[in-house]
Amino acid sequence: MVRALLGRWAFLIIGGALLTPYVLLGVVLFSVGSSVSLENSADMLRAQVLVLAGTIPALVVTGWVPVIRALSAAVARQLLGVHLTPARSATWADRWRTGLWLTAHLILGGVMSALTLSVPPACLVLLGVPLLGEQASRDMHLWGYEPAEWGSGTAPLAGLAGLAALAALVAGAGWLLARLAPVLLGPSAAEKLAEAERRAERLAQRNQLARDLHDSVGHALSIVTVQAGAAGHVLDADPEFARRALAAIEDTARAALTDLDQVLGLLREDHDDQRGTQPGSPDLGALPDLLDRTRLAGVSVTLDLSGDLSGLPEKVSREAYRIVQECLTNVLRHAGQVPAALRLAPDAEGLLIVMTNPLGPGTPVPSGGRGLRGIAERARTLRGRSSAGLEGELWRVEVWLPR
């Protein structure tokens, strides 16, 4: 608490120091353009008001400098303890808010600096009144306080009260500036909306990367597991099949490493314009290789293609590849080495993907894990739709992706 008070006190002192040249400017303007005499206290008060009136516009105009906002936010964050991200003024609304902040900071800082220079010495004098002697006590008049009238023993109490009042004023002024800082130096409503959109976009990108990693690596591990198990069982009886299985494991692992390298590259860098998918990601052009690797794992996949896939948009083609990949992974993981039927029907409106397979004896009905959720999320990303469930004795996944 003491550290926070000292930080805010230092912030106010800085404001008072920065106010000095503006006050000098106001004095010069007053002396040149005003005929007010300084014969009494009322004239002095009017002069001070005129000087202040000439100072405030200069403070506001200074706040228009774009870099002032970033500097003010950086100092306020350090000394006031407020959470601010220093940024230059980008709009006139930012400049006006910065001008108001600079005015509040320097005016309050000037007042607190003047009190800091005058109150502590006077309070020290009051604390030492009992040591000055009776004559000095009778001759002392300080801010209306007369030790001779109140008793010299009350002077130290008055001194302590003055220091406490100064600390309270500093704490109040610092509290006020700490509350004003986020309003005047913080992001505007438009900036907050833009930052929320950026956060949502980054979250969508990372979700996309997570889906890609799940689908590619999950598919590869499923095939590698099945192939390794099959090769181990027939290694002595059918060495040729074992060699083919090991070759399939090698190809699958190499493809998975390529996908993993792409995903990790996107995680290390900020590719805002790629929306989570690298141009080198596989698309439906790589579908034959995917089906061949799956067939080598023991899943007999038949493809029913009614149309040309080459005319699909790249985004649709990439997402469709990942959806088919996840469907095949689910067949391997949940149903095992069973026949599967894949239907792809592109037309002028979009692409229909249908995957069916028997569940196999004793296979539980899938309950909707990450794979099915990932398929649904990919479809929603392209404003498509998806469904999955039993159709008779077959498990059926249907996805529609519009162009």
Angle subtended by helix axes 370-381 and 314-330, to nearest 10? 160
Q: At residue 3, does pLDDT exceed 90? A: no
Q: Which of 158 and 145 is assigned the larger pLDDT? A: 158
Domain ranges in the chain are 2-186, 194-402
pLDDT at 391: 86
| C-alpha 64: how far from chain center | 27
pLDDT at 359: 80
**Token reading at 211:** 């889906």
**Rounded mean pLDDT, 47-52:** 71
Range in 64-78, 105-119, 166-180, 190-204 the model is least confident about: 190-204
Summarize pLDDT for 196-212 with one digit per residue, the tens. 888 887 777 777 777 77
**CA angle (124, 125, 127) in 5-degree steps:** 65
Q: At residue 134, does pLDDT exceed 90? A: no
**Rounded mean pLDDT, 176-193:** 86
Summarize pLDDT for 244-286 with one digit per residue, the tens. 777 777 777 777 776 777 666 666 655 444 444 444 578 898 8
pLDDT at 42: 65
pLDDT at 121: 87
Q: How many CA atoms lie within 13 A of 50 on its CB side?
A: 18
Q: Is 82 helix (H, G, I), strand (E, B) or coil?
A: coil
pLDDT at 14: 94
Phi, psi of 278 (to 5 degrees): -85, 145
Dist. CA 172–CA 178, nearest whole Å: 10
Dist. CA 230–CA 71, nearest whole Å: 67
Q: Which of 132 and 324 is assigned the larger pLDDT? A: 324
Place of tokens 């509290």: 175
Q: Do 162 and 126 contact (CB within 8 A), yes or no?
A: yes
- When pLDDT is cut at 50, 70 and 90, the band that residue 10 belongs to is very high
**Rounded mean pLDDT, 121-146:** 66
Q: At residue 77, does pLDDT exceed 80? A: yes
**Rounded mean pLDDT, 100-120:** 93
Q: Do 88 and 66 contact (CB within 8 A), yes or no?
A: yes
- When pLDDT is cut at 50, 70 and 90, the band that residue 155 belongs to is confident
Range in 105-119, 159-173, 280-294, 344-358 the model is least confident about: 280-294
Dist. CA 221–CA 204, nearest whole Å: 25
Summarize pLDDT for 341-382 with one digit per residue, the tens. 999 999 989 999 999 998 866 666 666 567 788 888 889 889
Global pTM reads 0.52
pLDDT at 246: 77
The per-residue pLDDT of the chain, averaged, comes to 80
* CATH homologous superfamily, domain 194-402: Histidine kinase-like ATPase, C-terminal domain (3.30.565.10)
Q: 359 vs 18, 40, 275, 329, CA distance in Å?
A: 78, 101, 36, 13
